[in-house]
């Protein structure tokens, strides 16, 4: 680890516990990606002809599976009627924070934090100013004092990231930011898609796993939810490159800490089964009569606030009551 600038204990911990700098990487079975693809294709084929019928009716001619759709696997109501995304101070802070870190890494981390914020702010504010539902419109509508406060928070966020993350030598690693990964399965009837925040690849080539997947979070940690998202990204990387990552991790930017999971084949196998379950749900819901609520599989929980059905949903009300009773002890 001597080739990394590790002036602080925080950088030392990150280099050791997250980056695994200087540690040996695991050897990988060269068949692992093909076996995962085979399991996925077999599981999707078991859905039957309904998969093809639903796929051909979709835009693009395929059933699209993303981390967001897998998040909604918990409840049919949420999958059907998720609340539309809304821009808020917190959500925009997260969006711009991601863009800012990506720009900083791509630019070699040589600009002052305030300059990075200014560049990203101007780029996003001018992207789609004429669309009233766009991020650009939201940013341009903010009062000057609010915009100034948000920019100051973003600069602090980037400074905190820089304090913990050491500059990585480009001759040793390649960093890809928000790389789009798409995987076609089941004769094109299913498409998996995602954009991992960071892919950190060793430039050394051998029979070992040498990719680290990092998801950046600026909001409240949700460990189980965040872990599932990362595992989906790890599966995408494995299928697209023919070799799994050696580790995947969520980095909580505000807190300056991470949660990581090392490669284990059974974890990716479980994630493949989750993808099949997600496709099966999307096909089942794609075939239902829109007016028929009888066969919906509804489940209440912490996710209900993200669903438009929540105010009138008896299952959500029961979940709220159960939670309230639990809080009373």
At residue 92, does pLDDT exceed 50? yes
pLDDT value of residue 287: 94
pLDDT value of residue 3: 64
At residue 4, does pLDDT exceed 90? no
At residue 1, does pLDDT exceed 70? no
Write down the domain spans for the chain.
Answer: 14-75+170-284, 89-164, 291-328
Distances (CA, A) of 201 to 120, 176, 178: 25, 8, 14
- Please state, in angstroms and rounded to a whole number, the distance separating the CA atoms of residues 296 and 290: 11
Both tokens of 2, joined, read: 């001597």
Strands 173-177 and 198-202: antiparallel
Q: What is the mean pLDDT of residues 4-23?
A: 86
Both tokens of 248, joined, read: 């995947």
- For residue 179, count other CB atoms closer than 10 A to its CB: 14
pLDDT tens figures, 177-213: 999 999 999 999 999 999 999 999 999 889 899 999 9
The arrangement of strands across the sheet holding 63-65 comes to: 63-65, 190-194, 181-185
């Amino acid at each position: 680890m001597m080739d990394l600038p590790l002036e602080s204990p925080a950088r030392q911990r990150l280099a050791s516990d997250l980056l695994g700098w200087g540690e040996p990487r695991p050897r990988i079975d060269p068949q692992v990606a093909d076996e995962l693809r085979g399991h996925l294709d077999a599981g999707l084929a078991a859905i039957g002809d309904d998969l093809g019928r639903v796929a051909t009716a979709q835009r693009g001619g395929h059933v699209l599976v993303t981390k967001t759709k897998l998040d909604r696997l918990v409840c049919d109501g949420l999958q059907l009627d998720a609340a539309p995304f809304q821009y808020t101070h917190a959500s925009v802070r997260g969006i711009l924070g991601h863009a800012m870190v990506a720009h900083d890494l791509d630019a070699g981390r040589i600009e002052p934090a305030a300059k990075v914020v200014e560049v990203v702010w101007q780029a996003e504010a001018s992207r789609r100013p004429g669309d009233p539902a766009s991020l650009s419109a939201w940013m341009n509508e903010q009062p000057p004092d609010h915009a100034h406060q948000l920019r100051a928070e973003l600069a602090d966020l980037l400074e905190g990231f820089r304090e913990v993350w050491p500059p990585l030598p480009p001759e040793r690693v390649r960093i890809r930011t928000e790389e789009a990964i798409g995987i076609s399965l089941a004769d094109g009837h299913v498409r998996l898609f995602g954009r991992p925040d960071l892919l950190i690849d060793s430039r050394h080539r051998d029979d070992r796993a040498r990719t680290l997947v990092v998801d950046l979070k600026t909001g409240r940690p949700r460990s189980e939810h965040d872990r599932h998202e990362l595992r989906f990204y790890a599966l995408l990387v494995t299928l697209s490159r023919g070799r799994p990552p050696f580790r995947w991790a969520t980095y909580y930017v505000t807190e300056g800490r991470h949660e990581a999971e090392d490669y284990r084949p059974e974890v990716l196998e479980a994630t493949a089964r989750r993808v099949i379950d997600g496709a099966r749900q999307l096909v089942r819901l794609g075939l239902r009569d829109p007016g028929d609520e009888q066969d919906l599989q509804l489940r209440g929980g912490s996710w209900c606030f993200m669903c438009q059905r929540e105010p009138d949903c008896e299952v959500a009300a029961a979940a709220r009551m159960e939670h309230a009773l639990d809080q009373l002890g």
